[in-house]
């Protein structure tokens, strides 16, 4: 495990990389003894720096929800990070690509909590009952360290969170079968990816139940009004200045954004 000074230095390196839009050396290279506990603490410290700058936490994101991504990262479970209000974007947004270092984009579902949800033993049905509504969303992911990265680099880097775009229809969680939400993701008129939400651990609420149980160990949980990204059901697509993105969720609407 790292010392307190090392954890703080790692958090400051990520904060500076985000501020300057220049990657830093992988934390796992600088501190090869870094553990998962270290990485989540580095994430917490970096979050506190963002809050000190005036940002507010609007929710959580879950990553590594697919078995393929877990195997690639040598993990047996997902990871998570926090989302900030200044990175909450709307459908139709014109997004400065320079806000990110090497952005990529994924299709997801966003769950908005209608009540607090905390405690061990949380199940999918608990998540569904506590959710006020679900809506299509896109996640922009970004890396603030050099590659290749180990899992401790990704977790410390706020689980690669870049920004969230919400759009399409709002629906209540029991109004449709949320396992079978399908989407296509097009870039500049060409469909690059497609997928179905059942690819997220079998059910998009499964990752959120996992998150609630992980947070319970820290005496934390989800709050009413929190936005939770349940995980991607398409592979990430590279994006750059000039790209136009259109994500079609069929009867649940669509999200369109452009990068400049």
- What DSSP line would sit under 128-183, residue for residue? HHHEEEEEEEEEEE--SB-SS--HHHHHHTGGGEEEEEE-S--B-TTTS-GGG-EE
pLDDT at 69 over 60: no
Which candidate, 123, 80, 91, 96, places its Cα nearest to that of 215?
80
* pLDDT for the residue numbered 77: 83
Using DSSP's 3-state secondary structure scheme, residue 227 falls into strand
Prediction pTM value: 0.95
Average the pLDDT over 71-88 and give the result. 84
pLDDT at 139 over 60: yes
Element (H, E) at 105: strand 104-113
Contact 162, 102 (CB under 8 A): no
pLDDT at 12 over 60: yes
Average the pLDDT over 119-142 and give the result. 98
pLDDT at 26 over 80: yes
The tokens of 33 are what? 């003894």
* pLDDT for the residue numbered 72: 57
Q: CA-based Rg of the chain, rounded to a whole angstrom?
A: 17
Rounded CA-CA distance 18/27 in Å is 14
pLDDT at 177 over 80: yes
Rounded CA-CA distance 224/134 in Å is 14
* pLDDT for the residue numbered 68: 54
* pLDDT for the residue numbered 64: 80
Confidence grade of residue 257 (pLDDT, cut at 50, 70, 90): very high
């Amino acid at each position: 495990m790292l010392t307190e000074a090392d954890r703080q230095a790692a958090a400051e390196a990520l904060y500076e990389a985000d501020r300057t839009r220049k990657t830093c050396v992988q934390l796992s290279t600088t501190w090869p003894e870094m553990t998962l506990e270290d990485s989540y603490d580095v994430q917490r410290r970096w979050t506190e720096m963002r809050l000190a700058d005036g940002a507010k936490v609007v929710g959580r994101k879950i990553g590594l929800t697919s078995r393929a991504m877990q195997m690639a990262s040598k993990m047996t479970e997902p990871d998570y990070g926090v989302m900030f209000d200044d990175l909450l974007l709307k459908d139709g947004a014109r997004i400065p690509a320079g806000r990110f270092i090497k952005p990529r984009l994924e299709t997801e579902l966003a769950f908005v909590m209608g009540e607090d949800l905390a405690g061990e033993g949380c199940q999918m049905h608990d998540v569904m009952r506590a959710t006020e509504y679900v809506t299509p969303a896109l996640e922009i992911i970004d890396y603030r360290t050099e590659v290749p990265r180990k899992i401790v680099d990704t977790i410390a880097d706020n689980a690669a969170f870049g920004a969230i775009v919400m759009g399409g229809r709002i629906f209540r969680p029991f109004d449709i079968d949320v396992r079978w939400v399908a989407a296509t993701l097009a870039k500049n008129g060409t469909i690059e990816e497609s997928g179905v939400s059942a690819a997220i651990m079998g059910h998009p609420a499964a990752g959120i139940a996992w998150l609630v149980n992980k947070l319970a160990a820290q005496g934390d949980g989800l709050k009413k009004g929190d936005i939770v990204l349940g995980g991607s059901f398409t592979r990430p697509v590279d994006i750059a200045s000039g790209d136009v993105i259109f994500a079609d969720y069929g009867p649940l609407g669509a999200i369109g954004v452009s990068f400049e």
